[in-house]
Amino acid sequence: MQSKKIIVLATLAISLSIFVSTASANHSWGSYHWARITNPFTLKVGNNVSSAWSSYLNEAISDWSASSVLDLIKVTGSTNSRTCKPKTGQIEVCSYRYGNNGWLGLAQIWISGSHITKAITKVNDTYFNTSTYNKPAWRRLVMCQEIAHDFGLDHQDENFKNANLGSCMDYTSDPDGPPSNEHPNAHDFEEIDIIYEHLDSVNTIFSLANNARNGVNSFRRDRLENDDQDINLDNPSAWGKAIKQDKQGRNSLYVRDLGKGEKVFTHVTWVQ
């Protein structure tokens, strides 16, 4: 009887530790995710960055590909850095001097229902060319964070004054720490597992042609490719309604309704 009691208590302890670990990872961006019919899945990342950003893009892709369900692969970009137009089924990453508009980095996702259909990451060289931000730690942090927003991950903490959590999903005034906030941590990977633990009956991570063969008929192709082409994605006035503020009281998340269940969300990292 005593041995059975020990076994039961040990089982409960293990179960509790698993629950605590899973529950601690709760920084998803709503319920938005790329639809796919199998795990693990591969998501293309279009390269539209300058040589100054190449190594940081490569690092971010390598870091997030350590996930057990997500594999990022760099491909040739399909847009120019200035306009940075999205491409259905993948992430496009761009760097450019976007101007003194107050934002350091942007992540934007297009969704239909709860499924991400395309996404972009933009880093603003107007600020990264200054002495404050032209540092490896800042470039590494922002690139890592904005790309993660594009597959559904949110911040772990948004208070710049708190101690670093050792995650690029943590706001900080001191990216290289210690501890360093330049890479993902275990909680980030736990959250990715949670976001993508269920499978879908359709894919949104392939080309439109492949989607048609895989039964995706809920998206209108003309809307996906054309309806948002006139949106000036650099301009906050085009981002739609502010729906969230960070701990500093600044608007950090916007949504623009494109109609018929389709929306574009903008996650913004402001200059301190």
**Does residue 129 have a pLDDT over 90?**
yes
Q: What is the mean pLDDT of residues 217-245?
A: 66
3-state helix, strand, coil in the chain (%, to 5): 30, 25, 45
User: What's the token pair of residue 6?
Assistant: 């020990």
Alpha-carbon Rg of the chain, whole angstroms?
19
Which helix (H) or strand (E) segment holds residue 15: the answer is helix 2-24
User: What's the token pair of residue 97?
Assistant: 């001097």
23 within a domain of the structure (yes/no): no
Return the top range by mean pLDDT from 25-29, 31-35, 223-227.
31-35
24 within a domain of the structure (yes/no): no
137 within a domain of the structure (yes/no): yes
Binning pLDDT at 50, 70 and 90, where does residue 230 land? low
14 within a domain of the structure (yes/no): no
**Does residue 231 have a pLDDT over 80?**
no
Burial class (CB in 10 A: 0-12, 13-18, 19+), 86: buried
74 within a domain of the structure (yes/no): yes
Give this prediction's pTM. 0.85
Predicted pLDDT of residue 4: 37
Q: What is the CATH number of the domain that holds 175?
A: 3.40.390.10
18 within a domain of the structure (yes/no): no
Strands (E), the chain: 33-34, 41-48, 70-76, 91-96, 103-112, 115-124, 241-245, 251-259, 262-270
Q: How many CA atoms lie within 13 A of 1 on its CB side?
A: 0
What mean pLDDT is reported for the chain? 85
Predicted pLDDT of residue 58: 98
3 within a domain of the structure (yes/no): no
2 within a domain of the structure (yes/no): no
Binning pLDDT at 50, 70 and 90, where does residue 247 land? confident
Predicted pLDDT of residue 223: 44
271 in Cβ contact with 102 (< 8 Å): yes
How far is residue 261 CA from its own chain's centroid? 21
**Segments forming the whole domain that contains residue 238:** 31-270
Distances (CA, A) of 210 to 30, 112, 203, 204: 27, 17, 9, 9
pLDDT digits (tens, 9 = 90+) for 187-203: 999 999 999 999 999 99
Binning pLDDT at 50, 70 and 90, where does residue 18 land? very low
What is the percent of the chain with per-residue pLDDT over 70, rounded to a whole number?
80
As for how many domains the chain has, the answer is: 1
